[in-house]
C-alpha cells in the first residue's frame, strides 16, 4: 500500500486528460491561451467569485496577493500578517518574501486551525491582514473572524491550498460559502497531491476585487499589462496551458472525489474505536473535504511504527510548528502550547478517492488494536 498513488487517482480520467493535452499541443497556444482563460472562468463559476488569476504555484499566488496589496497601498513593507503555527511553511515564506512580518498564532485543539479567540490580542497598529489556513481540507471561517477583520479594517487572505471544494456553514464577506471566495482574496495550489491537483505545478488567486486581480495578473507577467511596458517590478508566474487543460478536466469531477473522501472519513470515524485516539471532527457535511485525515495519539511514534510493520504508510502534517523551524530562529522562543503539543501527536492516515472500503476498514481496524 502507498500513502498516495497519483497515477491511480488520475487513471480514471486518462482518456480525457490525454485528449485535453493533445488539444493544447495542436492549438499552438502554450502560455496565457484559451485553456487558461477557460479554467479561470470555470473556477470562478465553481467558487462563486468574480476573478481567478492562474499562477505558477500556490506559494506564488500568496506572494502575489501581498505584493499587489502593497502596490495598491493597502499594506506597507514591515506590516504584519497573523497566521497559524500549524501550517505548511509556504504560508510563512509568502509573508516574509513579500516584505511583511509574520505574527504566529496558536491553534484550536479541536480543528487544528487558527484559534479565533487568540487573534485579537495579537493585533497591533501594524497589523494589516489575517491569513486563515483551511488546513487538511477543513474550512477555517467564523463570524468572529469577520467581526475582528471589520473592527480593525484588516484584509482576510485565505490560504486555500488544501481545501478546494470545502464550504463554510455561513456566508463569507460577500455571497459565497466556498473556501477560496470567503475573504478579500485567496490563494490556492494545484500541486498534484491536492484535491484539485494538476499533473505538474500550478496555483491561482481568487477574489472579487477587480483592482487586486488586475495588479496580481500584471505582477505575475513581469509587471506588465502591455507588452514591453512594465508598470511594476514583477515576476514570471503564470499557469501554463497544459496544466489549465488538465485542471479543466479534473474540476468536473472534484465534487465526486470530495464526496468519496467524506465517505472514507466517515468510515474511519465509525470504525476507529481505540479510546486513546483523538479523531478529527466530522463537522457539517462539506465543511471538510479531507485532504488529510489527521488523528492524534500520545504514543504517536509507537503507533506509526506499528502501522508501518503492518504495511500501512502514514505521514505527519506537520512535525514542526512554524515558530520552531531552524530557519526562523527569531521565533524559536515563542511559546504556543497547543500547536507544540499537537505537533507531537498528529498522524495522517491514508485518504484518497481511489481507496476501497476494504482498505479503509483494514486501516481502521489496525489503528483500533
Contacts of 12 (CB under 8 A, 6+ apart): none
Look at the chain and report how many structural domains it folds into: 2
pLDDT in tens, 48-90: 999 999 999 999 999 999 999 999 999 999 999 999 999 999 9
Q: Is 169 helix (H, G, I), strand (E, B) or coil?
A: coil
Distances in Å between the Cα of 111 and the Cα atoms of 134, 199, 256, 266 are 10, 30, 24, 16
The answer on 190 and 77 residing in a single domain is: yes
Domain end position, chosen among 203, 221, 251: 251
- Domain assignment present for 335: yes
Question: Torsion-angle region of residue 131: left (phi > 0), alpha (psi -120 to 50) or beta?
Answer: beta
Half-sphere exposure of 314 (CA within 13 A, CB side): 29
| DSSP one-letter code for 163 | -
Domain end position, chosen among 251, 271, 299: 251
- Domain assignment present for 1: no
The answer on 339 and 195 residing in a single domain is: no
The answer on 53 and 188 residing in a single domain is: yes
Task: State how far the Cα of 345 lies from the Cα of 210, in Å rounded to an integer.
Answer: 43
Confidence class of residue 198 from pLDDT cuts 50, 70 and 90? very high
- Domain assignment present for 244: yes
The answer on 33 and 56 residing in a single domain is: yes
CATH code at position 147: 3.40.640.10
- Domain assignment present for 219: yes
The answer on 79 and 58 residing in a single domain is: yes
Domain end position, chosen among 204, 229, 251: 251
The answer on 174 and 135 residing in a single domain is: yes
- Domain assignment present for 321: yes
pLDDT attached to residue 290: 98
Beta strand extents in 137-253 (DSSP E only):
155-159, 185-189, 203-207, 224-226, 229-230
Confidence (pTM) = 0.98
Instruction: Please report, rounded to a whole number, the percentage of residues in the chain having pLDDT higher than 90.
Output: 99
The answer on 102 and 54 residing in a single domain is: yes
Confidence class of residue 264 from pLDDT cuts 50, 70 and 90? very high
Nearest to 295 by CA among 340, 348, 344: 348
Q: DSSP secondary structure string, 276-303?
A: TEEPPP--STTSB--SSEEEEETTHHHH
Domain carrying residue 111: 6-251
Confidence class of residue 165 from pLDDT cuts 50, 70 and 90? very high
The answer on 244 and 296 residing in a single domain is: no
The answer on 197 and 324 residing in a single domain is: no
- Domain assignment present for 46: yes
The answer on 221 and 305 residing in a single domain is: no
pLDDT attached to residue 84: 98
pLDDT in tens, 325-369: 999 999 999 999 999 999 999 999 999 999 999 999 999 999 999
Task: State how far the Cα of 157 lies from the Cα of 207, in Å rounded to an integer.
Answer: 10
- Tell me the torsion sign for CA atoms 335, 336, 338, 343: negative
CATH code at position 269: 3.90.1150.10
The answer on 265 and 227 residing in a single domain is: no
Task: State how far the Cα of 234 lies from the Cα of 327, in Å rounded to an integer.
Answer: 26
Confidence class of residue 105 from pLDDT cuts 50, 70 and 90? very high
The answer on 212 and 313 residing in a single domain is: no
- Domain assignment present for 317: yes
Residue 81: all three cell numbers together: 500578517
- Domain assignment present for 39: yes
pLDDT attached to residue 282: 96
Amino acid at each position: 500500500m502507498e500513502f498516495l498513488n497519483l497515477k491511480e487517482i488520475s487513471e480514471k480520467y486518462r482518456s480525457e486528460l490525454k485528449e485535453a493535452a493533445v488539444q493544447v499541443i495542436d492549438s499552438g497556444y502554450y502560455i496565457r491561451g484559451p485553456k487558461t482563460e477557460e479554467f479561470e472562468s470555470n473556477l470562478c463559476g465553481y467558487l462563486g467569485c468574480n476573478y481567478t488569476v492562474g499562477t505558477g504555484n500556490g506559494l506564488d499566488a500568496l506572494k502575489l496577493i501581498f505584493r499587489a496589496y502593497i502596490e495598491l497601498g493597502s499594506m506597507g513593507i514591515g506590516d504584519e500578517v497573523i497566521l497559524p503555527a500549524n501550517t505548511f511553511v509556504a504560508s510563512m515564506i509568502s509573508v516574509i518574501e513579500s516584505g511583511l512580518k509574520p505574527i504566529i498564532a496558536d491553534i484550536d485543539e479541536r480543528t487544528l486551525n487558527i484559534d479565533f479567540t487568540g487573534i485579537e490580542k495579537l493585533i497591533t497598529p501594524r497589523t494589516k491582514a489575517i491569513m486563515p489556513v483551511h488546513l487538511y481540507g477543513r474550512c477555517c471561517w467564523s463570524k468572529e473572524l469577520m467581526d475582528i477583520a471589520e473592527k480593525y479594517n484588516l484584509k482576510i487572505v485565505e490560504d486555500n491550498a488544501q481545501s478546494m471544494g470545502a464550504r463554510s456553514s455561513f456566508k463569507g464577506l460577500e455571497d459565497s460559502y466556498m473556501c477560496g471566495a470567503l475573504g478579500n482574496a485567496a490563494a490556492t495550489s494545484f500541486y498534484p497531491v491536492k484535491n484539485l491537483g494538476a499533473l505538474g505545478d500550478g496555483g491561482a488567486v481568487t477574489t472579487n476585487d477587480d483592482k487586486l486581480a488586475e495588479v496580481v495578473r500584471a505582477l505575475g507577467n513581469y509587471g506588465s499589462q502591455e507588452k514591453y511596458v512594465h508598470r511594476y517590478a514583477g515576476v514570471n508566474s503564470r499557469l501554463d496551458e497544459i496544466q489549465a487543460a488538465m485542471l479543466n478536466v479534473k474540476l468536473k469531477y472534484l465534487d465526486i472525489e470530495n464526496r468519496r473522501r467524506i465517505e472514507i472519513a466517515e468510515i474511519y470515524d465509525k470504525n476507529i474505536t481505540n479510546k486513546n485516539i483523538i479523531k478529527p471532527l466530522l463537522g457539517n457535511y462539506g465543511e471538510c473535504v479531507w485532504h488529510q485525515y489527521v488523528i492524534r495519539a500520545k504514543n504517536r511514534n509507537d503507533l506509526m511504527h506499528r502501522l508501518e510493520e503492518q504495511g500501512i504508510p502514514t505521514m505527519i502534517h506537520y512535525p514542526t510548528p512554524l515558530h520552531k523551524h531552524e530557519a526562523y530562529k527569531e521565533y524559536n522562543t515563542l511559546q504556543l502550547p497547543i500547536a507544540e503539543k499537537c505537533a507531537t501527536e498528529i498522524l495522517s492516515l491514508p485518504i484518497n478517492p481511489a481507496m476501497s472500503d476494504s482498505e479503509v476498514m483494514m486501516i481502521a481496524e489496525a489503528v483500533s488494536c
